[in-house]
Amino acid sequence: MAKTAVIGAGSWGTALSLVLHTNGNDVTVWSIVEQEVQMLREKHEHVDKLPGVKLPEDITFTTDLKEAIEGKDYLILAVPSVFTRSTAKSMAPFVKKGQVIVCVAKGIEENTLMTLSDIVEQEIPAADVAVMCGPSHAEEVGIGLPTTVVAGARKKSVAEGVQDIFMNEVFRVYTSPDVLGMELGGSLKNVIALAAGMADGLGYGDNTKAALITRGISEISRLAIKMGANAETLSGLTGIGDLIVTCESKHSRNRKAGMLMGQGYTMKQAMDEVKMVVEGVYSAKAAIALARKYEVAMPIIEEINHVLFDDKPAKDAVRELMLRDRREEHSSLEWEE
């Protein structure tokens, strides 16, 4: 049994606190939002973000970051990516050497193009940093549906520690040393999910969706491999696995936001309607900046940026993708003379 704190009480933090408690760990949940902590203390349920999932009475809820962090073995950082740096800065004075911080959010910082684990390492040098991601919606984890994820860290012992506290008969945790590949797969898939949602909103079919998923993972892999990630990671749970779940699921926030945009909502209207964090919108600009920096073609992500930030109709973006110059599917394959 470990002493754990979940930093961030949105739908994902709430679902993971339940997994940790089920496994016999001591669990404290922190939120910056006083009303959220009040609601969790009174109702033992996140009625807005994870309705119907009851939390045990012996989980502690607090807005006091010092209380949440002190004496814990594992700190699960579950705030949305745009708050990762500010939250890590606030955590830094209380974190001691030997504590493990597990980043479970998905994103890339827009102005620095840093991954979330890099941000946490920069802000909290005392901690050991790990990541955990994969195809996992809070709504399904919260009701105990079988789910698989990956715990990543540079050191095997750190990844295995994360595996130990989370793994159970319905939550299977693999380990990996390819933290970069995992984080790029997890954050860039959200941008492709916006495109998949737009295709749904426009009334396009399964053929279009399959094309977006397949060409989407090609784009993500091209960039990630050039940045130093491992190709196997992109064909695993945190690459294609997470892309499939987010492009297909009724629970996906990014797909839902894209669908609304495909139906004519503006980006802002769609984000307000979804009510939970739509990470793909924040990662889209970072993705295209990385594509330029590493000189990698990312046509779907390029078009998504035009739809999000230049008011381009989603239908026009799809048409442009279909009418790009003709090319081979895999340019590395050899033809007979």
Ligand X SMILES: O=C(CO)COP(=O)(O)O
> DSSP label at 56?
P
Q: Which stretch binds ligand X (CB under 6 A): 14-22, 206-214, 247-255, 263-271?
A: 247-255
CB of 96 to ligand NDP, least distance (A): 22
- 91 torsion bin: left (phi>0), alpha (psi -120 to 50), beta (else): alpha
Locate the DSSP E strands across the chain. Answer: 3-7, 26-30, 60-62, 74-77, 100-103, 128-133, 147-152, 171-176
Closest CA to 61 of 35, 79, 97: 35
Asked if 136 interacts with ligand X (CB under 6 A), we say: yes
Residue 106 annotated as lining a ligand binding site = yes
Q: Which of the choices ligand NDP, ligand X, none does residue 135 contact, using the CB cut-off of 5 to 8 A by kind? A: ligand X
Q: State the Cα–Cα distance between residues 40 and 29, nearest whole angstrom.
A: 9
**Phi, psi angles (nearest 5°) of residue 7:** -100, 105
Q: Which stretch binds ligand NDP (CB under 6 A): 77-85, 95-103, 260-268, 302-310?
A: 77-85
Q: Which of the choices ligand X, ligand NDP, none does residue 178 contact, using the CB cut-off of 5 to 8 A by kind? A: none
Q: Is the Cβ–Cβ distance between 291 and 302 less than 8 Å?
A: yes
Residue 48 annotated as lining a ligand binding site = no
| Residue among 109, 178, 200, 279 that touches ligand NDP (CB under 6 A) | 279
> DSSP label at 115?
B
Q: State the Cα–Cα distance between residues 251 and 219, nearest whole angstrom.
A: 24
Q: Which of the choices ligand X, ligand NDP, none does residue 245 contact, using the CB cut-off of 5 to 8 A by kind? A: ligand X
Residue 229 annotated as lining a ligand binding site = no
- The encoded tokens of residue 151 equal 């715990």
Site for ligand X in 183-222 (CB under 6 A): 190, 193
Asked if 245 interacts with ligand X (CB under 6 A), we say: yes
| Residue among 20, 27, 29, 36 that touches ligand NDP (CB under 6 A) | 36
Q: Is the Cβ–Cβ distance between 144 and 116 less than 8 Å?
A: no
Separate counts of helices (H) and strands (E) for the chain: 16, 8
Asked if 87 interacts with ligand NDP (CB under 6 A), we say: yes
Q: Is the Cβ–Cβ distance between 242 and 189 less than 8 Å?
A: yes
**Phi, psi angles (nearest 5°) of residue 315:** -60, -40
| Residue among 81, 99, 147, 246 that touches ligand X (CB under 6 A) | 246
Neighbours of 80 (CB within 10 A): 18
- 257 torsion bin: left (phi>0), alpha (psi -120 to 50), beta (else): alpha
Q: Which of the choices ligand X, ligand NDP, none does residue 254 contact, using the CB cut-off of 5 to 8 A by kind? A: ligand X
Q: Which of the choices ligand NDP, ligand X, none does residue 9 contact, using the CB cut-off of 5 to 8 A by kind? A: ligand NDP
Residues in binding contact with ligand X, number by CB under 6 A? 13
Asked if 254 interacts with ligand X (CB under 6 A), we say: yes
- Give contact residues for ligand NDP (rule: CB under 6 A): 8-13, 31-33, 36, 49, 78-81, 83, 87, 104-107, 136-138, 276-277, 279
Binding site: which residues? 8-13, 83, 106, 134, 136, 138, 189, 242, 252-254, 277, 279
Residues making contact with ligand X (CB under 6 A): 106, 135-137, 190, 193, 242, 245-246, 251-254
